[in-house]
Structure formats: C-alpha cells, structure tokens
C-alpha cells in the first residue's frame, strides 16, 4: 500500500511547499541567534557517530569523551543526544536534511564537496585550525582542506595497504608485486575503482593536478603512460597467480590458503588476523615494474574527520566539541578502545604494524583522494575498466583505445 | 490396430508429460535454490561473505544466537519488535481503510465516484518512492521525525493512502448481491450496519487478502524506513538492520547473521500465509469474477 503515498503527496503538494518555506525560515532564525546563546542555560547537542563508538553504555568511546568535554567546560550545561551514522553514510544522510541532522558528526573526507554544497558543513577557524595544523601531517591537513578552507577535525587516516602471509613472502618479496606473483597468489580488487587508480597513479597519471586540488586540470589517464599501465594490468589478469578480489573472495582465500596477499584497510585487520594468525604481515602496497622501471603503487589517501553542522544553534560549543573529539587524548582513547589508528602525530603508535603501514602509505605512498566535485565522474569509468580487464575484453591490442575511452569518459561531465 | 494406435497416443502423451515435468522440475529447482541457499548460509559455521562451497563445511546455530543476543552493535530483537508494532498497526488501520473505501465505491453512488476511481487508478501507477523526500519534509513539519514519533510516522506513511488500493476488494464486494443490502435497508438497517453485519461477514476471503498485503507492505519496506529513521538507531526496522549488516564494517562478522535474520524475518509472513492460504486463493478468485 506504500505505493499510494503519492496520492497524499499530490493532494498536499501546495501544503508541502508552504511547510518547506517554514522549515528554512526556522533554520535562518536559528543561525541568526548563533554565538550569543551559549551562556549558562542548557544546551542540547546532537552527535552522530558509527555504532561501534557508542555500543555498550557509559563506557563507550563517544559517551566517555562527551562526558569529559562536559566536565572540562563547566560554563556550558550540555545535554548530549546520540545518533548512529557511519562516516561513509554521513555524506548522504546529513545532506538529505542538514537542518535536522546532527550538530557534530563524523564523515569520510571525500564527502566534503557534497556536504559543503548542501550547506551541511561549517568552515573551521581560529584555534581549531591551529590545533589541526599543529598535530597533523601535511597530507592529513590537505585531506580536510577544500577550496582553501578547513572543514573538519581529522581523527584517523582512511586508506588501504597490503596484508600478506609471512610464511609465503619474505620482507624483500613484498617490495615488488611481480616478485610476489612468482612466489604466491595475490588477490587485488581490480574491479573496485577506489583501488585500481593506484596502478595508474604509479606511472604518473594524475587526478586534478599534482596536488589533487586543481579542478581545471581534469583527470589525466591518457597517453602512453596510461596505456602502459593498462597493458600491465592485462598481463596481470592473465597471470595464474593473480585473482580479482570481489565480494570478499580475497579474505576467504586467505583463510583457506588459496590466496596469500590481499589489499584492504584497517577495518579488515581482525578478519585477516583470524585467517593468518601470527603469519600476518602488513605493509604498504608494493611497487610494480612497468617497461623496466619500478613504480610505487599509490593508494588514495583520505581521512575521517569530525565536522560541525552550520545549522547548529551553538556553533561555538559544537566547534569546541569537534576539536575535543579530535584532540590528541581523544584519539589515544579511540586507539586503545576501538583500535582506530590516530592521525595525530603526538600519538604513539610505534610497534603497531597496521598503524605504521597506514602512516607510511599516507605520508609517502599515496595520492590525496581529490576533493573536487568533478571527481564524481571518475568512479564509473574506472570500475568498468576494472571489470573489462577481469572479463578479458581489454587486451594488449585494444588497450590504447580502451584507455583513451576511459579517460574521455572521466573528463566528460555527467548530465546535470 | 486400434489398440496399437492407442498405445502410440499414450506413448506420445507420456513423452510430452515427461518433458513438461522435467521442465517444471528445473524451474522449481531454480526457484527453490535461493531459499535453500539462504537457509544453509544461516546455519553456516565459517564466517565471511564469500565461500567456495555451496554446502557449509560445518553447521551451527550460533548465527541465530548471535543475532538475538549480540545487541550492542545491531539490536535485532528491538528492530524486530519495532517492525512488528508498525506492521500490526498498519495492518489494522489500512485494512479498515481499504474495506471502507471499497464498500463505498461498490455500494454508494455519488458524483465524484467515477472521477475518483479514475484518479486513484492513475495515482497508483506512480511509484511511491517518487514522493519520499516530500513525505519526509511533511512529517518533519509535524515534528514526527524524532524519537518515538518515528514509529507513528511510519505507520502513517504505510497506512495513510492504503485507501487507494481498493480495486480488488471493490471487485469482490460487487459480487455480493445488492438485493441483500436492499432487504436489510427495508428492515431499517443503516449503511454502517449493512457494512458490519452483512458485507463483512460475507467477505472473509477478501479481508484475509487485504490483511496479508497490508501486513507485508510495511514488513518488507526499506526505502521509507531508511529516509524517515535516518540516524535514529533505536527506531530501525528489520529492513534497515539487515542492510546495515552488509555494510563494509560489518559484513565479515555479520554476513551469516544476515542470512539468519532473513530467515527469521520470513517466519511471521510464512505463518500468516499458512493460516490464511486457502482464503487467499478464494479472495483472488472472487475478485476476478467481479
């Protein structure tokens, strides 16, 4: 019967417009009174985070930090309300209705352009930016900077690296993918556009200029350098020791021994640990040999950050909370309680292989995942390229044409 | 000669029958496979979303136990209760709506009747999710999108326009002779009395049919629940919960529980069907007659 909701809709179309008008007016008056109303009276802040941050009760990370924040600021009497929204979903869920979304929420940095365009993310300034700049590496700061403004307090890096079986590969083997393929089986998510870019980036292809911020530069996956990569990938797929990792087949393969190395991020650590036990090795993605030269595979690097909703009535409090949740102490707690690897350079994570691999990737072996709205055109052509490679429709003969077609598609604006 | 022909005919018929049955058997197999697979997966001992064998290497009930006891991350029992409350309320309200509208359309004559029926026909041709964002903003204007009010808004969304789906029930009511109504009118019954005392008792099959469809609608709906619940985890319905289990962060540990959840979710529907099955068929047949 849900299909008939439309009737309600049509019947009340005019009413709806009227209400929409009301809604935006409300929010305007709300932000107009910003910055004045944060004195002693009660303040309610809504905080959204992934479920894992607030499982259990009082002793979970988010509740603990929020209580600590409340104690640190006796001048504000804050009541917290918690909602569940993973960093990956924040872009859609918050943008859907910023006026009713959380005041403080966590998001993956690639959603910044979308959130800003929807008026759902406040630009940070003053002490908060100082704090971010003092505690993070340049790459991390760049990951939350969009059009020269800082939009979030980063709390962890977001990238991928390689898990391998130490009993199969030595530490020297894992430096080069081609050496690895001679010794054991490697699974790579080739049909996933978040991963496949690393091969092209290895051979000098760029997305939106060198720093990934130049919208006018466009995506440069063309010419001989890109064709060479496509040809390399054709050979890679043909290699019997290579499998495409899709639908979790890589992880399952690790467990039964049919795969010896996979590419994934910190979220899969526990599962890989289950599969490999003490033989687990973690390292940045290897180099590949293209036309005789060794090139470093470069993963997309990003971060997860805490942002403030511009529709929040108590901007000052919300920004302070965001800064607090992203502070060195809060990140350390996050690390001990949930194994979220801090990006704060003051946090001590030495001895943790995953943290070291992740830091290595972000600082040296990655390209910043571009924060340009035209980046939206990248994903589908790249994914099709990966799928066609796996299916075998891309061959050494048509590699040049297929690469050029992909590049054209990436630089063509979708219908707006 | 005669006999030989008979045998020949018989042989050919046998041959055709065998072919048809093989064909049907293949179809049945294809149709049943996903269900068998989901049940097997729900009993699978090894974790993860990808397996190389169709049959699990070892069987366990842990997935069901985890589903109902591990409530820190994804509180399945609460989602189940939420959905059950919403589905039952929606079921009661929209059944009443549908039967009332159908009765009016079948028995009463008024000016707007024909245009209304055409209008309803056209409106039902549009997919409901076209309007979901607008529905969300309307509910928000009424302050129905926070906390426990979410349940009420979901019930509203699922039942509010159920009256539009009156065609099948109206068709059934049309088959009940009007003379019975007239006799009751002469005896002094009101329209309401005719509806409750005469029409309803005569239309058990179509009531069952309406109950079934209006229960299943909210029970399996994902899109409206997703739009309206947003970040309110305590209001999630099973559809959102099951979807969450397949997210990147959970899929490895929760995949088999997802299958268990899918099996559990189908139980209430299966029970409803088992008890109401024979009426269901009758109801559909009755409607066609009209």
ipTM of the complex: 0.73
Position B124 scores a pLDDT of 84
Kindly report the nearest CA distance between residue B196 and chain A, in angstroms: 23
CATH number of A42-151+302-364: 3.40.190.10
| Residue with the larger pLDDT of the pair B31 and B285 | B31
DSSP codes joined into one string, A333-361:
HHHHHH-PPB--TTS--TT-HHHHHHHHH
> Hey, are the CB atoms on A22 and B128 less than 8 Å from each other?
no
Whether A57 has a pLDDT exceeding 80, the answer reads no
Distances in whole angstroms, Cα of residue A84 to Cα of each of A89, A195, A257, A266, B159: 10, 28, 37, 21, 27
The alpha carbon of residue A303 is apart from the nearest alpha carbon of chain B, in Å, by 16
- pLDDT of B91 above 60: yes
- pLDDT, position A344: 87
Q: Which two tokens stand for residue A83?
A: 């909602």
Given an 8 Å threshold on Cβ–Cβ distance, is B230 in contact with A249? no
Are residues A303 and A319 in contact, defined by beta-carbon separation less than 8 angstroms?
no
CA-CA distance, A370 to A214, in Å (whole number)?
Answer: 9
Across residues A152-181, what is the average pLDDT? Answer: 92
* pLDDT interval class at B249 (50, 70, 90): confident
Q: Could you tell me the pLDDT band of residue B230, with boundaries at 50, 70 and 90?
A: confident
pLDDT bucket at A27, cuts 50 / 70 / 90: very low
pLDDT, one tens digit per residue, over B32-64 is 999 999 999 999 888 877 777 888 888 989 899
**Inter-residue contact A314 to A107 (CB < 8 Å):** no
Once rounded to an integer, what is the mean pLDDT over residues A246-273?
88
A327/A132 Cα distance (integer angstroms): 9
Return the minimum-mean-pLDDT range out of A27-36, A116-125, B156-165, B196-205.
Answer: A27-36
pLDDT of residue A281: 92
Contact A55 B213 (CB under 8 A): no
Q: Is the pLDDT of residue A220 over 50?
A: yes
Residue B21 Cα distances to B14, B16, B30, angstroms: 10, 9, 14
The full set of domain ranges for chain B reads 2-62, 73-289
pLDDT number for residue A25: 36
Whether the pLDDT of residue B290 is over 70: the answer is no
In the predicted structure, residue B4 carries a pLDDT above the cut 70 = no
User: Which CB contacts under 8 angstroms, 24+ apart, belong to A268-271?
Assistant: A268/A163, A268/B252, A269/A163, A269/A339, A269/A354, A270/B252, A271/B47, A271/B48, A271/B252, A271/B253
User: Would the pLDDT of A174 be above 50?
Assistant: yes
Question: Which superfamily does CATH assign the domain made up of B73-289 to?
Answer: MetI-like (1.10.3720.10)
Indicate the average pLDDT of chain B: 86
Q: Which pLDDT score, from 0 to 100, does residue A374 have?
A: 85
Task: Quote the pLDDT of residue B3.
Answer: 62
Calculate mean pLDDT across residues B181-203.
Answer: 90
CB-CB under 8 Å, A8 with B131 = yes
Q: What is the pLDDT of residue A376?
A: 85
Of A83, A45, A366, A328, nearest to B235 by C-alpha is A83
pLDDT at B99 over 60: yes
Q: What is the mean pLDDT of residues B8-34?
A: 91
Task: Round the average pLDDT of chain A to a whole number and report it.
Answer: 84
> Residue A43: its pLDDT value, please?
87
Q: What is the pLDDT of residue A2?
A: 47
8 Å CB contact between B132 and B222: no
**Chain A residues with beta carbon closer than 8 angstroms to that of B255:** 248
Indicate the DSSP class of residue B57: S
Using CA atoms, how far apart are residues B105 and A222, in angstroms rounded to an integer? 65
Of residues B279 and B84, which shows the higher confidence score? B84
Residue B193 token pair: 């009395």
Share of chain A above pLDDT 90, in %: 38
pLDDT value at A40 more than 80: no
Residue A14 has pLDDT above 60, yes or no: no
pLDDT of residue B87: 93
| Residue A416 scores a pLDDT above 50 | no
Domain(s) labelled CATH 3.40.190.10 in chain A stretch across 42-151+302-364, 161-298+371-410
Chain A positions in Cβ-Cβ contact with residue B165 (cut-off 8 Å)? 1, 3-4
State whether residue A22 sits within 8 Å of chain B by CB.
Answer: yes
Contact yes or no for B280/B205 (Cβ under 8 A): yes
Question: Is a pLDDT exceeding 60 seen at residue B23?
Answer: yes
Q: Under an 8 A CB cutoff, do A4 and B48 touch?
A: no
Report the top-level CATH class of A161-298+371-410. Answer: alpha beta
What per-residue confidence (pLDDT) applies to A35? 41
Least-confidence region, from A278-282, A304-308, B69-73, B254-258: B69-73
pLDDT the model gives residue B277: 77
Specify the DSSP element, H or E, that contains B31.
Answer: helix B2-42
Query: Which of these, B160, B52, B15, B258, lies nearest to A10 by C-alpha position?
Result: B160
DSSP three-state, residue A82: strand
Average the pLDDT over each of A6-20, A148-162, A203-217, A382-396 and give the range with the smallest value. Answer: A6-20
| Predicted confidence (pLDDT) per residue in A271-326, tens digit | 899 889 899 999 999 999 988 888 999 999 999 999 999 999 889 999 999 999 99
Is A38 or B164 the better-scoring residue by pLDDT?
Answer: B164
pLDDT in tens, B137-169: 899 899 888 888 899 999 999 988 788 888 888
DSSP-based three-state secondary structure for A209: coil
DSSP A264: E
Q: What confidence tens digit (pLDDT) does each residue in B108-133 have?
A: 899 999 999 998 888 888 887 788 88
* Res B66 pLDDT > 60: yes
Nearest by CB: B138 against A2, A12, A252: A12
- A348 versus B60: the higher-pLDDT residue is B60
Residue in chain B closest to A267 (alpha carbons) equals B249
CB A285 within 8 A of CB A297: yes
CA distances from A349 to A356, B79, B123 (A): 7, 38, 60
Instruction: Find the CB nearest B123 among A10, A50, A85.
Output: A10
CA A262 distance to own-chain centroid: 19
Q: Do A269 and A226 contact (CB within 8 A), yes or no?
A: no
- Residue in chain A nearest B252 by alpha carbon: A271
Mean pLDDT, range A230-248, rounded to an integer: 91
Strand partners for A301: A368
Strand-pairing partners, residue B171, are none
Is it the case that residue B286 has pLDDT exceeding 60? no
């Amino acid at each position: 019967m849900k299909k008939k909701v439309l009737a309600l809709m049509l019947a009340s179309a005019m009413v709806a417009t009227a209400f929409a008008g009301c809604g935006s007016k409300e929010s305007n008056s709300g932000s107009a009174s910003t910055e004045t109303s944060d004195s002693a009276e009660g303040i309610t802040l809504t905080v959204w985070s992934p479920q894992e941050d607030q499982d259990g009760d009082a002793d979970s990370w988010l509740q603990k930090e929020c209580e600590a924040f409340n104690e640190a600021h006796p001048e504000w009497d804050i009541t917290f309300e918690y909602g569940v929204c993973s960093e990956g979903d924040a872009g859609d869920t918050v943008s859907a209705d910023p006026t009713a979304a959380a005041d403080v929420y966590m998001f993956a940095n690639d959603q910044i352009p979308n959130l800003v365009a929807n008026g759902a993310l406040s630009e940070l300034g003053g002490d908060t930016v100082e704090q971010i700049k003092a505690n993070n590496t340049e790459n991390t700061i760049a990951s939350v900077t969009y059009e020269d403004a800082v939009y979030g307090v980063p709390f962890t890096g977001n990238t991928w690296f390689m898990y391998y079986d130490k009993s199969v590969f030595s530490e020297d083997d894992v430096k080069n993918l081609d050496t690895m393929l001679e010794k054991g089986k490697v699974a790579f998510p080739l049909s996933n556009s978040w991963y496949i870019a690393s091969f092209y980036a290895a051979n000098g292809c760029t997305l939106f200029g060198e720093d990934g911020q130049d919208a006018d530069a466009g995506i440069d996956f063309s010419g001989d350098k890109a064709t060479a990569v496509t040809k390399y990938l054709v050979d890679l797929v043909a290699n019997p020791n290579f499998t495409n990792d899709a639908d979790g087949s890589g992880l399952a393969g690790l467990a039964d021994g049919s795969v010896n190395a996979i590419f994934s991020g910190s979220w899969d650590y526990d599962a890989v640990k289950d599969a490999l036990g003490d033989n687990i090795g973690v390292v940045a993605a290897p180099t590949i040999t293209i036309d005789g030269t060794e090139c470093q595979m470069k993963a997309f690097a990003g971060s997860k950050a805490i942002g403030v909703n511009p529709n929040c009535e108590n901007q000052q409090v919300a920004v302070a909370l965001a800064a607090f949740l992203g502070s060195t102490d809060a990140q350390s707690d996050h690390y001990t309680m949930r194994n979220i690897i801090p990006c704060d350079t003051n946090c001590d994570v030495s001895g943790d292989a995953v943290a070291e691999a992740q830091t290595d990737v972000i600082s040296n072996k990655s390209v910043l995942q571009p924060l340009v709205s035209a980046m939206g055109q990248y994903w589908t052509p790249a994914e099709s390229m990966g799928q066609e490679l796996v299916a075998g429709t891309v061959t050494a003969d048509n590699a040049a044409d297929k690469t050029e077609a992909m590049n054209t598609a990436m630089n063509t604006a979708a219908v707006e | 000669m005669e006999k030989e022909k008979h045998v020949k005919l018989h042989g050919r018929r046998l041959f055709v029958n065998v072919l048809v049955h093989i064909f049907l058997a293949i179809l049945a197999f294809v149709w049943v496979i996903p269900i068998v697979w989901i049940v097997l997966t729900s009993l699978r001992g090894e974790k993860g979303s990808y397996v190389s064998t169709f049959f699990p290497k070892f069987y366990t009930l842990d997935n069901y136990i985890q589903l109902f006891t591990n409530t820190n991350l994804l509180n399945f029992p609460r989602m189940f209760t939420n959905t059950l409350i919403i589905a039952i309320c929606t079921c009661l309200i929209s059944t009443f709506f549908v039967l009332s509208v159908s009765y009016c359309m079948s028995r009463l004559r008024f000016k707007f009747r024909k245009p209304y029926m055409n209008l309803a026909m056209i409106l039902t041709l549009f997919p409901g999710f076209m309007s979901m964002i607008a529905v969300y903003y309307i509910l928000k204007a009424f302050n129905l999108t926070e906390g426990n009010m979410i349940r009420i808004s979901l019930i509203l969304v699922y039942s509010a326009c159920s009256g539009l789906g009156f065609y099948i029930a109206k068709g059934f009511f049309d088959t009940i002779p009007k003379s019975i109504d007239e006799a009751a009118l002469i005896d002094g019954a009101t329209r309401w009395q005719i509806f409750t005392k005469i029409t309803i008792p005569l239309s058990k099959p179509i009531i069952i049919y309406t109950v079934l469809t209006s229960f299943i609608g909210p029970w399996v709906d994902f899109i409206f629940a997703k739009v309206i619940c947003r970040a309110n985890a305590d209001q999630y319905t099973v559809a959102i919960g099951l979807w969450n289990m397949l997210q990147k962060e959970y899929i490895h540990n929760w995949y088999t529980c997802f299958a268990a959840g899918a099996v559990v979710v189908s139980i209430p529907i299966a029970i409803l069907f088992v008890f109401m099955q024979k009426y269901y068929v009758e109801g559909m047949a009755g409607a066609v007659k009209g």
